[in-house]
Amino acid sequence: MGGDAAPEMVLAGLELAAERHPGAKFLLIGDEARLTPLLATHPRARAACLLRHSAEAIAGDMKPTLALRMRGASMRMAIDAVAAGEADGVVSAGNTGALMALAKIVIKTLPEIDRPALAAIAPSARGDVVMLDLGANVQCDARNLVEFAIMGDAFARAVLGLPSPTIGLLNVGSEELKGDDRVRQAAEVLRADSGINFHGFVEGHDIATGTVDVVVTDGFTGNVALKTGEGALKLMRDLLRQVFTSSVPARLGYLLARPRIIEGMGRKLGLPTERVVVKSHGGADAMSFAHAVDVGMDMVTHGFTQQIRTGLARVSTQALPSVAT
């Protein structure tokens, strides 16, 4: 029931996902009265899913503290199904704060991880780039950054299928002495014997260049950077639209370029918990919702949480001072 175009978008996405993953079974939770007629027009989704009625839905702007009390909400019932072992993971396009709060409290995050993170896959000149954290943690210490690096490594292996993804730590410069204590301490741990392919510091422009496969940063910077990049691309698209509708040859040029121009920056979000919880964008369409399902399937299939555990066992962050509150 979550997302701007739900539930129609979710059903259309599920239809695509059911086609891509023939063996998969889906537990669809929401308002039966609205979902039943939609299932009638989506035969693959109907064949692959079990419908469970929920009378309530968490609104997009509801505070997480209030959302936690709605025990009959569709999102809560989906999270409960994962906690009970009925499902391996959840995919939702609903309220991000509520989903994170429910995942943390009901499913519980990996005990070794201090805090869960929000990740996105951004396009770059060289292919997909995983970026985290994007706002789940506005204040981070060196230890959190190291954990995000391990999670990003596991995410890139599981979802992008990279055998040894390169990891970069976002900073104001690429030299070892740049930045604050927090990033320098995290880099020192990652450089030492973390078992991950640590590239070193990267800068803002390295995200779009695709210098590394995974870009690690704190939630404040990551959130601002992602939105700034999205905003810059949107400005460019709007300018282009004006320019390219100003004459016939320009219009032709625009039509040719459109398929690549419409590609945005952030595509989907995932946050690692004991089970897998994938957050699809609130403005997702059927294609991107189906893609979020792919991400969840990949994470489950490739033992995402086990990879994080293995990664964490390799690094020691005990010596790091904690600077976040």
Quick one: which of 55, 256, 287, 319 contacts its own copies (CB under 8 A)? 256
Residue given tokens 């780039």 in the structure block = 129
Q: Does residue 249 touch its own copies according to CB under 8 A?
A: yes
Q: Tell me the helices (H) and strands (E) count for the chain, helix number first.
A: 13, 10
Q: Does residue 184 touch its own copies according to CB under 8 A?
A: no
Report how far residue 119's alpha carbon sits from residue 122's, in angstroms, rounded to the nearest whole number.
10
H helices present in the chain, as ranges:
8-20, 32-40, 43-48, 64-67, 74-83, 96-102, 142-160, 181-193, 205-209, 219-244, 248-261, 286-301, 304-314
- Kindly tell me which of 3 and 123 has the beta carbon lying closer to its own copies: 123
Q: Does residue 272 touch its own copies according to CB under 8 A?
A: no
Q: Binding-site residue total for its own copies (CB under 8 A)?
A: 56
Which amino acid appears at position 169 of this protein? L
Q: Does residue 62 touch its own copies according to CB under 8 A?
A: no
Q: Does residue 245 touch its own copies according to CB under 8 A?
A: no
Q: Does residue 254 touch its own copies according to CB under 8 A?
A: yes
Q: Which stretch binds its own copies (CB under 8 A): 36-44, 50-58, 78-86, 119-127?
A: 119-127
- Kindly tell me which of 26 and 254 has the beta carbon lying closer to its own copies: 254
Structure tokens, 70: 């709605």
Q: Does residue 152 touch its own copies according to CB under 8 A?
A: no
Q: Which stretch binds its own copies (CB under 8 A): 1-9, 18-26, 171-179, 292-300?
A: 171-179
Q: Does residue 320 touch its own copies according to CB under 8 A?
A: no
Report how far residue 99's alpha carbon sits from residue 178's, in angstroms, rounded to the nearest whole number.
36
Quick one: which of 100, 186, 207, 308 contacts its own copies (CB under 8 A)? 207
Q: Does residue 234 touch its own copies according to CB under 8 A?
A: yes
Quick one: which of 203, 282, 285, 303 contacts its own copies (CB under 8 A)? 203
289-309 burial, b if ≥16 CB within 10 A, otherwise e?
Answer: bbbbbbbbbbbbeeebbebbb
Q: Does residue 229 touch its own copies according to CB under 8 A?
A: yes
- Kindly tell me which of 10 and 225 has the beta carbon lying closer to its own copies: 225
Q: Does residue 200 touch its own copies according to CB under 8 A?
A: no
CB count in 10 Å sphere of residue 153: 28
Q: Does residue 246 touch its own copies according to CB under 8 A?
A: yes
Nearest distance, CB of residue 135 and its own copies, angstroms = 5
Nearest distance, CB of residue 29 and its own copies, angstroms = 28
Nearest distance, CB of residue 305 and its own copies, angstroms = 26
Label residue 58 left, alpha or beta by phi (over 0 means left) and psi (-120 to 50 means alpha).
Answer: beta
According to DSSP, the β-strands at 119-124 and 89-92 are: unpaired
Report how far residue 89's alpha carbon sits from residue 230's, in angstroms, rounded to the nearest whole number.
28
Q: What phi and psi, each to the nearest 5 degrees, are found at residue 289?
A: -70, -40
Indicate the helix (H) or strand (E) that contains 89.
strand 89-92
Nearest distance, CB of residue 17 and its own copies, angstroms = 28
Burial zone of 67 (CB within 10 Å; 0-12 exposed, 13-18 middle, 19+ buried): buried
Kindly list the residues in this chain that would bind its own copies in the complex (CB under 8 A). 123-125, 135, 138-139, 170-172, 179-181, 203-209, 217, 219-221, 223-236, 238-240, 243-244, 246-247, 249-254, 256-257, 260-261, 265, 325
